[in-house]
Structure 1
């Protein structure tokens, strides 16, 4: 219970501290919209570093992939639950401020925002971020109870590997910040894009085949025989977790293709006066 409370204090507290610092430092004096969006990305990155570090410690400490336990697996799982609840609200704040920046500010815009347009912004947020909101809700309402109750202290190695899926998150957050400030064509954005693509592929997409392979190695089964040896609900859960990762990986690949191989604008045909 204490770790839940700690997570509920740390993540919103870090967000408020970052936002107020960015707005009040004399060298920065950022607008609230910029401070909110960057602070939300910062908190997500911090959580990702903490989760992947905890996952690495757990997975490397568990020599027996089924029975070995590490206290950090259950402790960090509880600590991270408030983050997913906080992040749903933080994402809404980011969406709200982006909506205001896109021509909905000013006195008239503020009057509309105070009324019925609030629901329009909320609907737009849920429409745009539905998959992410659903992912966060599943992490809190399904994955957390399963990891605490259903596992019964077994499989800490696999939980540690799943925590390391967050390795790609800081690169995703940095990429979004660079796009926000129109830095898509900088070398930093290209290097970050390559690292994001590679880390997402390894830590989120290939993670699931690796977990099946690791279990098969433990059980003395070839990789293709592992799904048949596992209960149906385990395969279903893995498929449901993998599906959004494949979708997001497709979006990352599409963005990387546009970044590294942009469409060249067609050259204008010569005018009669120049012929």
Structure 2
């Protein structure tokens, strides 16, 4: 089964990548290859996010016991996800290569620029591949499928983040769609990447008859440390989104006042 789902992911995500680039080149011949590759990256990320969120919701709804109930998607979707992570890193490098190919830079410089420009996303992907995959597949044993499903739903904000970046690339950041999308981005990010952690603590507390405030003192220290490790970058990214939204609001207000 492992090879089956990993194989499906290895076919699905590169195939979707190639098809998206081909379709965009046909539908928008005036766009450069770089434009198509960047938009394709956003589209495939959104598709993966929808699949992950859907899997997470199915798992959460199927696990009545937050600790011991099992669902096959909590393990198998992770194998399907691994090829996406690798494909996305390769796509980000392809974007950097397309962006700098006319500058006659050495490959070492291009690679260094790639690491510098995408350090947060690369770190995010490597943490998933090197830490979260072993934890979800082996180290947690037979427990916690419910919480794996919760982590999957954190991807709900990704389509809105991707749409915002596509609109910026198309120079549509002045439109009403961009502003509405920004509201949905902040809302889904806050609910599914920040409030997600209190929700998991509350769910465990409901199962064990504990109040939310007592849960951190009744679970292993390693669980609290893992959650702190996961939520820290989410808080940082959310602060960046809030600063960006504040700048947009200030700009719009200045235009109205002028």
Normalised-by-shorter TM-score class: over 0.9
Q: Which has the larger radius of gyration?
A: 1
Aligned positions of 1:113-124 closer than 5 A: 113=105, 116=106, 118-124=107-113
Q: Which residue of 2 aligns with 1:139?
A: 128
> 1:51 offset after TM fit, Å?
0.4
Q: Secondary structure at the match of 1:224?
A: coil
Spell out the pairing of 1:27-66 with structure 2 (5 A cutoff): 27-29=27-29, 30-66=31-67
Per-residue CA deviation, residues 51-100 of structure 1 (Å, 9 max, x unaligned), is 00011011001111111111111111111111111111112222333x33
Distance 1:244 1:125 in 2: 20
Measured in 2, the distance between the counterparts of 1:64 and 1:244 equals 29
- Calculate the TM-score normalised by the size of structure 1: 0.87
Q: Name the stretch that deviates more: 72-81 or 165-174.
A: 72-81
1:230 and 1:150 mapped to 2: Cα distance?
Answer: 16
Consecutive unaligned residues of structure 2, counting only runs of 5 or more, are: none
Query: Which whole-Å CA distance do the structure 1 matches of 2:178 and 2:198 have between them?
Result: 29
Aligned-partner SS, 1:183: coil
Question: For each residue in 1:25-71, what CA deviation from the matched residue of structure 2 results, as whole angstroms up to 9, or x when unmatched?
Answer: 2x421321111001111100000000000110110011111111111
1:105-158: per-residue Cα shift (whole Å, max 9, x none)?
3xxx2xx13xx2x32232122122212111101101111111011222211111
Say which is worse superposed, 172-181 or 126-135, in terms of deviation.
126-135
C-alpha separation between the residues in 2 aligned to 1:233 and 1:132?
25
After TM superposition, the structure 1 = structure 2 runs for residues 143-162 of structure 1, keeping only pairs within 5 Å, are: 143-162=132-151
CA displacement, residues 211-249 of structure 1 (integer Å, 9 cap, x when unaligned): 111111211222222112111111111111111111110
Answer yes or no: is 1:264 the counterpart of 2:254: yes
Q: C-alpha root-mean-square deviation of aligned residues, in Å? A: 1.7
Count of aligned positions: 253
Report matched runs for 1:248-263 at 5 Å: 248-262=237-251
Q: Which residue of 1 aligns with 2:116?
A: 127
Distance 2:39 2:248 in 1: 22
Separation in structure 1 between the aligned mates of residue 195 and residue 110 of structure 2, nearest angstrom: 36
TM-score, scaled to structure 2: 0.93
Shift of 1:264: 3.1
Secondary structure, counterpart of 1:223 in structure 2: coil
Identify which range, 79-88 or 124-133, moves more after superposition.
124-133
Q: Comparing 13-22 with 27-36, which one deviates more in the overlay?
A: 27-36
- Segments of 4+ in structure 1 off by > 6 A? none
What is the CA–CA distance in structure 1 between the aligned matches of 2:172 and 2:96, rounded to whole Å?
20
* Structure 1: stretches of 5+ with no match in the other structure: 269-275
